[in-house]
Structure 1
Amino acid sequence: MTKPVNSARGIAADVTAGRTSAVETAEAALARIEAAKALNAVVTIDPARTLADAARVDDRLCAGETMSLAGVPIVVKDNIWASGWRVTQGSRLFADFVAPQDAVAIERLRKAGAVIVGIGATSEFACKGVTTSQLYGPTRHPLDPALTPGGSSGGPAAAVAAGLVPLAIGTDAGGSSRRPPAHVGVAGFKPSYGAIPYGPGFAEPFFGLSVIAPIASDVADIALAFEAMAGADPRDPDSALFARQAEDIDGMRMAFSPRLGLDVAVDDIVANALASTVDRLSAAGLRITRRDPVWPTGATEDAIMPLQHAGLAALYGDAFRKEPTIFDPDVAKQIERGLSWSGAEVAGALVASAAIANAFAAFLTDVDLLLTPTVPCVAWSLTQLGPDMIGGKPASPRGHAVFTPFVNHARLPAISIPCGTDPRGLPFGLQIIARRGQDRTLLGAAHRIEAMLQAC
């Protein structure tokens, strides 16, 4: 797995100082993307547009402008609007759609000097835990082309892990920008709901859950991107201003929950590595206790999944009735299921979602940070929705996704950082969760924990 020539902050420093130009940096990124076409991480490029954007960054620097991401090449997930780019949601319904304007987050990244070099692959409507679509085919794991990087932000995560770009922008409604980074060995951050404005863009099937999520090789680059994108905007009524918080983790109360208080399977290699990681952090001086959240009766992903199915049915049910074969078969099953849910059943899923959020809030009243696995297993065959076995037990198609969705329903910030590999060298991650609005505290803590793990 080739690492980027430089970090996002290093590239920005070099471009700002004139040691290289935004155009030269963009040309190098485009060359790396071309050389890695078999990975299928970047599904759309537009070199003329990219180089014109890069030239404008160089002109702005010559005019004396200061930009935190000057010349940094980025990949944007194929469900986020970027003006003038083909953005399809991985769906044949939108095969020819060109975004009419930027999402606020992309507008802010451009203002900070970032240069879009390509659009990263997603599963259709970002609704699968693997990254494949009828429009583009499968995205492959950078360490083993027979494996999936997970989903739905598999393209952006693979692009960073393969060294094509130092920074990518995904979305996360149930773990889509934490699990793929964990599987490929990079960092992925799900901000608090509302911390980064969402849209303008496509109608969202994950009502009140999905967030814009930066992916990078390390926490410092993620924090740089977050600062460029964060803050309220009147175009998104759910966006909010969050006060700056202290970033010092000394004295913080931390809990480690090896299974998030759920009756779920975890591979031994992941469980043992996470326990060892927590022991090392405790030995380095962090205050970590073993403690599990207490969930309401019946709190499972199955209880909240009707919200995803009903959201898809509301948006695409009519198109499905007219031409069901235009959809990914796995997504078509979700739409069909959504059409069958009653109003009471969907309302029941909303009740379950609220109960999960309340339980998480109660747990975090006297705990500052919660540490859990990001994923219970390493990457699996790209021909399957999930691994056959996890922890020595038969696994459901969503068995790999158990540790991330509740965080979205509680609208909390969470980050995944690398914390180990299996004997084949396949990575997995440590998830760190904080209270809603404590994004900067979380990023500061993750940066320190990242440094501690690298030093051990």
Structure 2
Amino acid sequence: MLSAVDLIDYLIKRINTIDPYLGAMVDVDLDGALAQAAQADQLAAAGSRLPLLGVPFTVKDNLWVEQRPATCGSKLFADFIAPQDSWSVTRLKAAGAICIGTTNCSEFGCKGVTSNLVHGVTRNPWCLDLTPGGSSGGAVASVAAGFSPIALSTDAGGSTRRPAAHTGLIGFKCTSGLIPNPWGFDEPCRDMGSIGVLARDVIDCAAMMDVLAGYDPRDPLSHPLPTEMTLPSAFTRAVINTPDKSLRIAWSLDLGCGFAVDNDVASEMLLAVAQLRSAGWKIDDASPHWSNDVISYPYAVRQQAELATLFGTKWHDDPAQFDPVIAAQIQNGLAITATELADVTFRRHRARAQLTAFFECYDLLLCPTVPVEPWPCDSLAPGTINGQSADPRAHAVFTPLFNLCDVPALSVPCGFGAHGLPVALQVVGPRYTDLHVLQFGAEIEHLLSRDFNAPMMRTNIFEQV
């Protein structure tokens, strides 16, 4: 049997061999990981039943690992050492998991690709010329390249789900507050964000959720768990059971908003939905009825205003400290009025009400996670979608509405685009239906039965990359 120490030793060698090409890791804690692995081996020999004993994981750089560097992708924190573990890191370690290091993210988690002035560019393990998306690009790259089986990330507008879709992984954003995050960096849109979980299959995400879901009154977004989530291994038990065939499921290609999707991506999703229907699932073509002010929601307003509040003075003093994309957001944020910010709050209320009304008729909603395959690393966004000119946020429109509405959403790979790169369905449910969302994601995974391992996953570290 492979020991935890042997596994960590292999993974560190794998990271040292492959990551210079990939740029996923920004800190590797060799001594700490080996010490945790030795302890895991001792516990295993003593008969410990810790649920994640010996399982390696990585941590996005906007979360904290005690006494290790944490930069949030910013020069402002280039010398910062985390004073304690983030809440979620503490929980995984307590379950026996081994933290091997931290992963790259865009500055403050506020860009749809993963690059920054501190650690540089993260590349996609499916093709090194392409981006894995953002802001959790390092997290998905670490899993897709075989550095760890699971990873912690964050998601305030799709930063877990979209990169997961671009790399063939499972990415889950839980109901807001289900995983507490009571301390750490001050970040924009924190009340729309969730700790994200990443893995290569749904059951591993469920195993993480069994450990991470909890209540901590120090986090104002946290809340006591629904009774069904307090049962032992509730999430894992859910995904190993077949969903109820009476589920009312809707499918929408454009989310009722007229969002553009590349034809090859749409075709793969339609094939996946047809396969689900052939397996006996009743799936209606239906979309939420959003008001125009919700469809045209200015997602950037909150982010830019809060970036300006947090970092506007430092930007004014030294703009060169900031990624130009982030600097432009801060500059825009300084011009946002209180009235504009209040309007965003009321639009959010309307979005919640409209999605809640939709879920009175349906239990789950299927839609795209992303409308395109990944694009080159040197571009902020794809220039076109479905043959039409696309603005810089058009690739990211399918995920933020579900952050606004605080509902669980899961990205599940469902096929491959014209260039052989993964595309994904998004499974969305009402608040607190996290168990059902993950359960149906596992059903999609089972019925489609496709291999979504990145070519880099198969790289032999003893051969040239």
Taking structure 1 as the reference length, what is the TM-score of the superposition? 0.93
Q: Verify: 1:29 aligned to 2:11, yes or no.
A: yes
Secondary structure, counterpart of 2:57 in structure 1: strand
Q: Secondary structure at the match of 2:293?
A: coil
CA separation of 1:119 and 1:186: change in aligned 2, threshold 3 A: same
- 1:305 deviates by 1.9
User: Partner of 1:4 in structure 2?
Assistant: none
Report the Cα distance in structure 1 between the residues aligned to 2:156 and 2:296, rounded to whole angstroms.
Answer: 13
Q: CA deviation at 1:22?
A: 1.7
Aligned to 2:434: 439
C-alpha distance in structure 1 between counterparts of 2:191 and 2:32, whole Å: 33
Give the gaps of 5 or more residues in structure 1: 1-18
Partner of 1:336: 331
The match for 1:126 is 109
Does structure 1 conserve the Cα–Cα contact (< 8 Å) formed by 2:156 and 2:190?
A: no
Q: CA deviation at 1:59?
A: 2.7
Match of 1:3 in 2: none
User: Which of 176, 188, 204 matches 2:187?
Assistant: 204
Query: Are 2:299 and 2:400, in contact at CA under 8 Å, matched by a contact in 1?
Result: no
What's the Cα RMSD here?
1.5
Match of 1:418 among 409, 413, 418: 413
Identity %: 42
The corresponding residue for 1:362 is 357
CA distance in 1, matches of 2:312, 2:375: 31
Query: Which residue of structure 1 lines up, in the alignment, with residue 75 of structure 2?
Result: 92
2:210 matches 1:227: yes
Q: Distance in 2 between matches of 1:170 and 1:114?
A: 16
Q: For residues 26 and 236 of structure 1, what CA distance do their matches in structure 2 show?
A: 33
The AA in structure 2 aligned to 1:274 is: M
SS of structure 2 residue aligned to 1:54: helix
Contact 2:297-2:347 within 8 A present in 1 as well: no
The residue that corresponds to 1:264 in the other structure is 259
Q: Give the corresponding residue for 2:65.
A: 82
Q: Which runs of 4+ in 1 moved over 6 A?
A: none
Native 8 Å contact 2:415 2:450 kept in 1: no
Task: Show the 5 A alignment for 1:303-452.
Answer: 303-452=298-447
1:243 is the counterpart of 2:227: yes
For residues 26-61 of structure 1, give each alpha carbon's deviation from its aligned partner in whole angstroms, at most 9, with x where no partner exists. 111111111112100111112111111222222333
Between 1:237-246 and 1:267-276, the stretch displaced more is 237-246
Offset from partner CA, 1:422-441 (integer Å, 9 cap, x none): 23211110000011111112
Report the Cα offset of residue 236 of structure 1: 1.5
| Runs of 5+ consecutive residues of structure 2 not aligned to the other structure | 230-237, 452-465
Q: CA deviation at 1:65?
A: 2.7
Pairing 1:20–2:2 present: yes
Q: Secondary structure at the residue paired with 1:208?
A: helix
1:291 has 2:286 as partner = yes
Give 3-state SS (helix, strand or coil) of 2:406's partner. Answer: coil
1:303 aligned counterpart, secondary structure:
coil
Task: Name the CA distance, whole Å, in 1 between partners of 2:306 and 2:176.
Answer: 18
- AA at the equivalent of 1:164: F
Q: Contact 2:174/2:196 (CA < 8 Å) preserved in 1? A: yes
Partner of 2:461: none
* Counterpart for residue 218 of structure 1: 201
Equivalent residues of 2:150, 2:204 under 8 A apart: yes
Q: Secondary structure at the match of 1:440?
A: helix
Partner amino acid, structure 2, of 1:93 = L
* 1:49 partner amino acid: G
SS at match of 2:50: coil
Aligned to 1:62: 45
Q: How many residues align?
A: 438
Give secondary structure in 2 for the equivalent of 1:74: strand
Aligned equivalents of 2:297, 2:382: Cα separation in 1: 18
Whether the 8 Å contact between 2:54 and 2:97 is mirrored in structure 1 is yes
Matched letter for residue 108 of structure 1: R
Structure 1 residue 455, shift from structure 2 partner: 7.8
In structure 2, the residue matched to 1:154 is 137
**How far apart in 2 are the matches of 1:47 and 1:393?**
48
1:277 corresponds in structure 2 to 272
